[in-house]
């Protein structure tokens, strides 16, 4: 049975890295990284725009539907601080008969700040540059606020599996993700 795996978590926690690793190790699985897809579909000018993100989410749902119907796994690495898109993905999995796995990757607020600063300083991907421009030091778009929203959301999502992933523990975290989805790692 195909899997629809959501890797949720704050920026710079390693979602895309783990999604890429999963795809490398699971034949014909696809990672629908919404930030990269948005850039490919709509270009750099719209990389941070809300209309482009909404269109990208629709595009990703269509691609996921086709891939899951073909019996292939889909991984969606994306910070989702509100339930609407999670519910759409969960509904899609039910529609096509796929297993739905919601994984939330977390690190401490202090370590997230450090990881984000390091990623920003070394940013070569435009989506990381755009993310750095969109994150505020304080207020509703700060890393602390995004993490807090995610903690609140997880409390309403009883099937979400939270995995702590401190910096430098990629192998351990990846094995924990595999265990959470029932993959004999």
- Do the Cβ atoms of 15 and 77 come closer than 8 Å? yes
Of all residues in the chain, what percent carry a pLDDT higher than 70?
80
pLDDT score recorded for residue 139: 43
pLDDT at 97 over 80: yes
Which range (69-78, 105-114, 150-159, 165-174) has the least confidence?
105-114
Across 6-15, 24-33, 109-118, 130-139, which has the greatest mean pLDDT?
Answer: 24-33
Distance from C-alpha of 4 to C-alpha of 34, rounded to nearest angstrom: 14
Identify the structural domains of the chain with CATH numbers, from first to last.
Answer: 3-179 (3.40.50.300)
- Least Cα distance to 154 among 4, 1, 8, 3 occurs for 8
The model's pTM is 0.85
Per DSSP bridges, beta strands 161-164 and 30-31 are unpaired
Which residues does residue 6 pair with via DSSP β-bridges, in sequence order?
76, 102
């Amino acid at each position: 049975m195909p899997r629809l795996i959501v890797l949720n978590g704050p920026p710079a926690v390693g979602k895309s890295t783990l999604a890429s690793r999963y795809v490398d190790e699971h034949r014909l699985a696809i990672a629908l990284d919404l930030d990269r897809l948005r850039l490919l579909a709509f270009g750099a000018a719209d990389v941070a725009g809300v209309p482009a993100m909404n269109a990208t989410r629709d595009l990703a749902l269509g691609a996921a539907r086709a891939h899951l119907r073909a019996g292939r796994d889909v991984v969606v690495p994306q910070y989702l601080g509100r339930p609407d898109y999670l519910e759409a993905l969960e509904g899609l999995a039910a529609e096509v008969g796929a297993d739905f796995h919601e994984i939330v990757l977390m690190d401490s607020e202090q370590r997230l700040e450090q990881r984000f600063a390091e990623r920003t300083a070394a940013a070569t991907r435009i989506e990381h540059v755009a993310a750095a421009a969109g994150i505020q030091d304080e207020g509703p778009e700060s890393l602390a606020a995004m993490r807090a929203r995610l903690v609140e959301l997880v409390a309403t999502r009883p099937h979400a599996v939270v995995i702590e992933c401190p910096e430098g523990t990629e192998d351990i975290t990846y094995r924990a993700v595999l265990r959470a989805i029932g993959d004999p790692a």
